[in-house]
Structure 1
Amino acid sequence: MKGESLTQFIIREQRKSPKATGEFTLLVNDVASACKAIAHEVNRGSLAGNLGLAGSENIQGEVQKKLDVITNDIFIRSLEWTGHLAGMASEENDEIIQIPSGYPRGKYLICFDPLDGSSNIDVNISVGTIFSILRAPEAGGNLTAEDFLQPGTQQVCAGFCVYGPTTMMVLTTGNGVNGFTLDRDVGEFILTHPNMRIPEDTAEFAINMSNQRFWEEPVQRYVAECVKGKDGGREKNFNMRWIASMVAEVYRILTRGGIFMYPLDTKDPGKGGKLRLMYEANPMSFIIEQAGGASSTGRERIMSLTPQNIHQRVPVILGSRKEVERVVSYHLESI
């Protein structure tokens, strides 16, 4: 095995903190084990009968795929018994997930989307897992949903796995961003992308153009400028990308720059946005900011928001700092 494993990396980071107990290191290893199991099920696809609809809906009113249910079960089963968590919150569960009474409780909380981009699974496009780790207000105590409602600035760790041509885990603990590739021969995530930084200059934007008629004026203005490129006053021409899988979009931004937008629109104004704050927007914002980028609703920093409920939706504009700041400035001008 060449390179440093995820376990070695986390232990090395742990040694920098004299007060570290090792519990966090073990929790990250538990998450990595869950992601390995999920990668296996995703890769088996039709061979295991994993594709297609599950015949149910989640709390969001979204039709669940079979793999939504399978991956959610894997994540819960992998983490509930370890003694490192006080509770969990998942996109696929209406309420918070309590640790069963027969298992010890730890001092951390985890929020997760077990299979981001699952609408793409049947057409063999990259999907992934997103997670956010918080401290429990009281270790070992009885939890309520309110215990999870911490702003993104309180995150201890955030990460995602992308299941594509290779399986990769991208992780931050507030000290930069590092990428690990799954070496299937040894079953370990290996550090392959140390200290990931978002390029400052970009010529790519990602947005669902089918919603254009519902966007607010600042987003209309920004996208129109990108489409026109040099003919519209920008210093370069832009390309548009849209994968409909946030993990793949963010990974692309981390490696070659760009901006990703799921802005506020009038299509369904009651929702307040498309993406979920606790287990999509916050962890991705933490990663993006730690890699030198920026993340905003268009009006305020995402990680400064105080969540109102575990399934709250928010607008998301994130990526290369200069482009995000331009979109935010257009919003401020429109006030």
Structure 2
Amino acid sequence: MTLVLGRILDKTPRKMYKRYVSLTGIGWGSYYPKYTNLGVIALAYSCIAPLVLGFATVGFALLYLAFRYNVLFTLGTQIDTKGRAYARALQQLTVGIYLAEFCLIGLFAIGSSGSGVSAGPLVLMIIFAIGTVLWHIQLRSAMSRHLTSLPSDLLAEEHCDNNDEEKNYPTGQSHTDARKVDSGTSSGDEYQVPASADPPAPPTGFMGKLKEFLLPNRHASAAVISKYILSPHLANPVRPYTQQELEAAYLHPALSAETPIIWLARDEYGLSQQEVQGCRRAVGEGLEVSDEDAWVDEKGNVNWNERELRKAPIFEEDVRY
């Protein structure tokens, strides 16, 4: 489909380049609900046929492997939800737990009407349902804090990394000074790490470890939580960022984006060269025009060099933060 649409719709080198380097995006609003619905069905039917959980586990494991491959190699993300789509899907999965518990409560209530044997399981299921509601409230509270703010100990990790990097600089020059010279920032742009950002002392003893496990949002730092959640062999390696990329990380694209380059297709009559020189004379500095790595063939079709992608005038390194 991409090759067919590209031949019909793309008539300029820029459109051809964009279609070639762009990956198909993911519609999180329609992607998550499909698998959330499957999870709700599996949880709801697990009380009637517990064997469903085994098949659901195998099925979701295979779906995870396929989804992971597609996300890393065949799909792109145009919209960053900052984890909100995952948080909503996780909370929607509790609907399956509620359905299973209400189903069991109804079955035990019907059974207890003719015999008192089902009264005990009925009371237990009501207690479990109340506990599930309380757990759901706690889950919403814990996740809302992570969606609206970041832990302060993340700043402490940045501070510790800077202290380690300072050891690599000559005597009399710190990492902050070197960064200030490289970026051209003034002393007013420097930040101070508050004392409250120091990482908490690791808990000791059995009770400390138990509290750290049951209440990680209170007793565990971001580094400890990441150690349990983000496995090293599942992490996607990221190259070191340049100073310019670090400075533009939290800027609006309108502030950090450079002036677009006008990319023309070169022809054998030299018309593209006349346009390039004419634009440079009329506009001067601030506008770049090029006709490199794109040409018009004898049939009037526009082509560009797909084999040497980095030589394209509009090539930009994709930065993943």
Q: TM-score, normalised by structure 1?
A: 0.20
Name whichever structure is richer in helix by fraction. 2
Higher gyration radius (CA): 2
Name whichever structure is richer in strand by fraction. 1
